[in-house]
Amino acid sequence: MTGIKALAQHLDLSIGTVSRALNGKPDVKAETRRRVLAAAKELDYRPNHSGRSLRHGRTNTVGLVLETGSPSTLAGDTFFMHLVDAMQETLAEEGLDLVLLPCRSADDPIEFLRRHVTRRMVDSIVITATRRQDERIAMLLEDGTPFLALGRSETPGAYPWIDLDFAGAARDSVDALVRLGHRRIAIAAPRRDVNLAHIYMEGYRDALAAHGLPVDEALILRASGSENGGVQVAEALLRLEDRPTAVMLGQELMAIGLYSHLAQVGVQPGRDLSVIGFRQSPQLRFLSPALACFALDVRALGKEVGQAVMALSADPVAARGIGRVWPLEYVPAPSVQPPVR
């Protein structure tokens, strides 16, 4: 691998001339540019990105903030690994790098983010696990750091975001269950203070109202977004005197714990209790009966996030206030059956 100084010496040209030729400056003769480009290919020239970044005030790097202490992450949820891979593939096409900024459960999310923003290690940031009122968003808006929120928030301000259609998933779940005759439908949402849980539960309430069904607060459960959370949901449902005939799960890993605990007491999903999970996931493909849930192309989502970040880097002002709800497609399966009469 050759640097620009060695390339200039090889061609007997000044470093400035070689640099202008490599960057396509118009004041370089066509023949000189041809010689420089040919020699650069022959000698395997690689630019010094650190030096270029210092000169231009850019790092050509995007930071993705992940809360590594969340129950779903600790339980081995692969959502973000697939998302990161697709984001990195998209950003690499434009010569951009993606770095992960893992925020531990012991970290203060605000101070963690402020520390990285102050260091100016990245040009833009993607935040996840958004809250209804998210102090991180307020801080980034005040600082002027370009950022994208992977998830909606009610925090005031104009900023770009992309979010899954949690309300639509709740609505489609209720619609599918009501069509089969279910009237007592429970819902389990993640216990964490994330906005997606609020959106999911509001979609559930609105869907019940649209069908003229009452909301029973005893059927609205909050649990850890993990296998253990699914066990907690199953235990809570089995304790009810007037049990529901169906349950909707707001996090995919809950289904594993729910199925396991129901099997221990002889309750079969589908036959005795209809179950609709959230996102299709490799961890769930071995459940029996197969779990009704929602199809999501995570790679397509990751590429969309990557493209949105590139647009943000190119023109932060134009990208402000642009939001997109990412659709989810309901996939029926034997875990949903008409209620036993």
Per-chain mean pLDDT for the chain: 89
- Residue 341 reports pLDDT greater than 70: no
Residue percentage of the chain with pLDDT more than 70: 93
CA distance readout (Å), 292 to 132, 152, 329, 333: 28, 26, 11, 4
The whole-number pLDDT of residue 247 equals: 98
Confidence grade of residue 37 (pLDDT, cut at 50, 70, 90):
confident
d(CA 29, CA 271): 78
Confidence grade of residue 3 (pLDDT, cut at 50, 70, 90):
confident
d(CA 202, CA 189): 11
Interval 50-91: pLDDT, tens:
444 444 457 889 999 998 876 666 556 778 899 999 999 999
The answer to whether the pTM exceeds 0.85 is no
Q: Which amino acid is at 207?
A: A
Residues 6+ apart with CB under 8 A from 57: none
The whole-number pLDDT of residue 47 equals: 62
Write down all domains in the chain, each with its CATH number in brackets: 4-47 (1.10.260.40), 61-164+298-326 (3.40.50.2300), 166-295 (3.40.50.2300)
Interval 83-142: pLDDT, tens:
999 999 999 988 899 999 999 888 899 999 999 888 888 999 999 999 999 999 999 999
Burial classification of residue 194, based on how many CB atoms lie within 10 Å of its CB (0-12 exposed, 13-18 middle, 19 or more buried): buried
Three-state DSSP at 221 gives strand
User: What tokens appear for 170 in the block?
Assistant: 């709740």
- Chain mean position to CA 78: 11
Three-state DSSP at 110 gives helix
Q: Which amino acid is at 307?
A: Q
